[in-house]
Structure 1
Amino acid sequence: MWRGIILTFGVAIIAKALAPFLPALGGETLAMFIGLLLGNTIFSNDRWSSGVKWSEKYPIEVGIALLGVTLTLGTIASLKLQGLLFIIAIMILTITFVMWIGQKLFKVDQQSAMLMAAGNAVCGSSAIASVAPAIHADDDKRRTAVATVSLSGTALLLVLPLIAPSLMHHNDMLMGALIGGTVQSVGQVVGTAALINQDVVTYATLFKMLRVILLSVVVIYMTHVVVRSEGADASVTTAKPKFKLPWFVTVFLVAVVINTVFPFPTMINHFGHEASSFLGVVNLAGIGLNLKWQTIRKSGVRYVGYGLVTIIFQIVVATALIYLIW
C-alpha cells in the first residue's frame, strides 16, 4: 500500500512544483493528467493500486474536514433557502429520471437502476455502498454501478471547469451550485471546483454536504420502493437501512460552528486553507492514477451510454434550476 501512497503524493508534489511554470493549467490539472499518463503506462501494475485508491479516497476527507476551520455559519447561510431547494429538486429529478431511463431505455434491472440513481444523485460510490445492502443488490451490480458512476464523475470533472464559467457568468456561488449539485463523489466535486478557483471549492463543498446529509432519506426511500415492488418478501420487509453521517462531514460542521462562535487564529485559517488545497491536488493525482482504460471497457457500451445520458440530463436540469431559482 505504501508504494501507491508515496507515488500519489509524489505526483501531487511534482504537480505543485510545476504549477508556477504552467499557470494556465495549475497544480490540480497537472496532477490529474500526470497521474492519468503514469497510471496507464509505467505504474499500471496492480501493486500500486491499493495505495493509489487509498490516496484518492481518504486524504480529501481530511481536506474537507480542515476546510471547516476556514468557514463560518454565515458562509453556509449565504446559500439561503434557494440553495436547499436547488439540492432537493436536483436530487429528486435525478433519481426519478435515472431510475426511469435505466429500466425503459437501457433495460437494466430495478436494483441496478436504483444504484445508478443513488450514486449519481447523492455521493457516488459511498451512496451505492449505503443503498446496496438495503435493497439486497449483489456485488456484480454494485461494482458495475460504481465503475459507471466513477466514470461519469470523471467526465464531469473534465467538462464542467470548461463550461461552468460561461454557463454561470463567472459567478463563484452559482458555479459551486452547478458542480456541488451534479458531480458524483465528494472528491470529484472538490477536484472539479479546484480546476476553477478556491472560492468555487468552498461553495461546491457546501452544496455537496447538503447532498451527503440527505443520503439517509434516499436510503429509506429506496428501501420502501423495494418493499413495495417485492410485496410480502419477509427478508426485504424486515431489512433496516443503515446510515451514518461520514466523519469528515461531522468534523466539518463542528469546525464551522466553533469558528463562528470562537474564531480560529489567522494562522489556523491559513493552514486549513493550504492543507485543504494540497490534499485536493493529491485527490486529483489519485483520480488520474486510478482511472484505467480497462475500467471504461469493463463498464460496457450500455452502461457507458447510461452514464452519458445521465450526466447530460444533470447538467441541463441543474443549469435550468439555477436560472429559475436564482
Structure 2
Amino acid sequence: MSTPSMHPAAHAHSAAAAHGPLNGILFVALFAAAVTRLAAMPVIAGLGVSPLIVGIVAGAVYGNTLRAGMPAHWAAGVNFSARRLLRIAVAFFGLRVSLQEIAQVGLPGLTVSLLVVVSTLAIGIWVGTKLLKLDRDTAILTAAGSAICGAAAVLAFESTLNSKPEKSAVAVGSVVLFGTLSMFVYPLAYRAGWLHLDTAGIGLFFGGTIHEVAQVVGAASNVSSEATHVATIVKMTRVMLLVPVLLVLGVWLARTAARGTGNARAPRKVTVPWFALGFLACVIANSLHVLPSAATQAVNALDTFALTMAMTALGIETQLSQVRKAGPRALATGFILYVWLAVGGLAITWGVERVLG
C-alpha cells in the first residue's frame, strides 16, 4: 500500500515530464537569443558570420560538454526545434526572394545560377561518395551547402534526408570555412585584375559562386554598390532553386528506396517536402506584396531567429566523436567544390556573359 507522501513527488515528476518539451523549446530560444547577441558583436558580424553559424558552434560546444546537466525530458523540445521548427523556418525563408528581383538579372543570372547549382551538386555527390568514400547523406549535404545557399540549404536537405545532426554539422563546417575564404579571396582577386569581368559580371560571379548570402554581400560590397545589388539578386536566384532541387531529391530517394526493396515495379511513394511548397508560397506572396514591407521585415527577423534556434538545437544534438569520423573527408569534398566554384564558376560566368550578356 503506497503512502500519501509519495503522491506529491510523483505528481511533480509527471508535471515536469509534461512540461519538458516546452521547457526544452524555451531553453533553445534563450540559448538562440544569447547567440544572436553574440553574432551581432562587430568582430563576428564583420566576418560575415550569421547567427545560424554561431548557433551550431555554441550548441555543439554545450552538447559535448554540459549536455548531461540538461534535464532528460527537455530533449523532446530540443528535437522539436531541430526538426519541426526547422522546416517551418525554411518555408518562411521564401519571403526573402521575389520573382521581380529575379527578373531584374534576367537570363544571364538564371543561367549562371542553374549551371553552378547543377554542376556543383553533381561534382560534390560524385567526389564525396565515389572518390572520398563519404556516406551518401554527408556528401549530399556538403554539395547542397556549397551549391545553393550555405547553412540554410544544409538544413533544408537535412529535413528531406532525415539524416543525423553530426552530418549537418560537418557540412555546415565545410560551408563556413570555404565561404568565408571566398569572401576575402574574391575581392583580392578582383583588385589584382585576375577576373577580367565588368561590374555586372562580378555580380554574377560573386552571387553565383559564394556560399552564404551574408558572405556574398560582404565580398561584393568591397567592389561597388552595383555589384552588390546584382550579386545579391543572383544569390537569391540560387536560393529559389532550392525548391526544384528538393523535389528532384524526393523523387530520387523514392526510386532508390524502391530499388532497395528489389521491387522495381512497386509504387514509388514520392514525398514532396511540404516546407519546399511553403517556401514557394512565401516567394509568391512576397512577389505579390501581400504583406506590407514592415511586416515582411518583422517576419524575416523572426525567421532568422527560428533558424538560429534550429541550428543551435542541431548543435546540441551533435556528437563531436561522429564529426571527427567524416570531418577530414567532408572538408576535402568542400575544398574540391570550392576550387570548382572559383575556377569553373568563373568560366561559366565568362561564357554566359559572352553569349547572353
TM-score, L = length of structure 1: 0.69
Task: Find the aligned partners of 2:273 and 2:113 in 1 and give their Cα distance.
Answer: 21
In 2 relative to 1, CA 98–212 (structure 1 residues): closer, same or farther, beyond 3 Å? farther
CA offsets per residue over residues 48-83 of structure 1, 9 Å max, x none? 444223213333433333333343202234342211
In 2 relative to 1, CA 14–2 (structure 1 residues): closer, same or farther, beyond 3 Å? same
Task: Find the aligned partners of 1:252 and 1:9 in 2 and give their Cα distance.
Answer: 23
Residues 1:15 and 2:42 aligned together: no
Task: Find the aligned partners of 1:289 and 1:86 in 2 and give their Cα distance.
Answer: 33
CA offsets per residue over residues 181-234 of structure 1, 9 Å max, x none? xxxxxxxx689889999x99986565244245224435656777899xx8xx98
Gaps of 5+ in 1: 132-141, 181-188
Q: Which has the larger radius of gyration?
A: 2
Report the more deviating stretch, 73-82 or 83-92: 73-82
Cα distance, 1:11 vs. partner? 0.8
Contact 1:11 1:285 in 2 (8 A): yes
Contact 1:66 1:273 in 2 (8 A): yes
Task: Find the aligned partners of 1:283 and 1:250 in 2 and give their Cα distance.
Answer: 20
In 2 relative to 1, CA 67–285 (structure 1 residues): closer, same or farther, beyond 3 Å? same
Task: Find the aligned partners of 2:114 and 2:171 in 1 and give their Cα distance.
Answer: 22
Among 63, 67, 75, the alignment partner of 1:39 is 63
Among 277, 284, 300, the alignment partner of 2:304 is 277
Residues 1:51 and 2:77 aligned together: yes
Among 256, 259, 267, the alignment partner of 2:294 is 267
CA offsets per residue over residues 156-183 of structure 1, 9 Å max, x none? 2441352121244397875554455xxx
Give the aligned partner of residue 165 of structure 1. Answer: 183
> SS at 1:24's partner residue?
helix
Gaps of 5+ in 2: 1-20, 145-152, 189-201, 222-228, 350-357
Give the aligned partner of residue 255 of structure 1. Answer: 282
Give the aligned partner of residue 100 of structure 1. Answer: 130
Contact 2:91 2:279 in 1 (8 A): yes
Task: Find the aligned partners of 1:66 and 1:177 in 2 and give their Cα distance.
Answer: 22
Structure 2: which amino acid aligns with 1:42? Answer: L
In 2 relative to 1, CA 277–119 (structure 1 residues): closer, same or farther, beyond 3 Å? closer
In 2 relative to 1, CA 97–51 (structure 1 residues): closer, same or farther, beyond 3 Å? same
In 2 relative to 1, CA 319–119 (structure 1 residues): closer, same or farther, beyond 3 Å? same
Contact 1:116 1:149 in 2 (8 A): yes
Question: What are the within-5 Å matches in structure 2 for residues 140-219 of structure 1?
Answer: 146=164, 149-169=167-187, 177-178=208-209, 206-218=237-249
Structure 2: which amino acid aligns with 1:280? Answer: L
* Percent identity between the two aligned chains: 17
Task: Find the aligned partners of 2:85 and 2:205 in 1 and give their Cα distance.
Answer: 26
Give the aligned partner of residue 82 of structure 1. Answer: 112
Task: Find the aligned partners of 2:287 and 2:113 in 1 and give their Cα distance.
Answer: 20
> SS at 1:291's partner residue?
coil
Give the aligned partner of residue 183 of structure 1. Answer: none
Cα distance, 1:87 vs. partner? 0.9
Cα distance, 1:18 vs. partner? 4.8
Cα distance, 1:24 vs. partner? 1.7
Among 16, 25, 30, the alignment partner of 2:44 is 25
TM-score, L = length of structure 2: 0.64
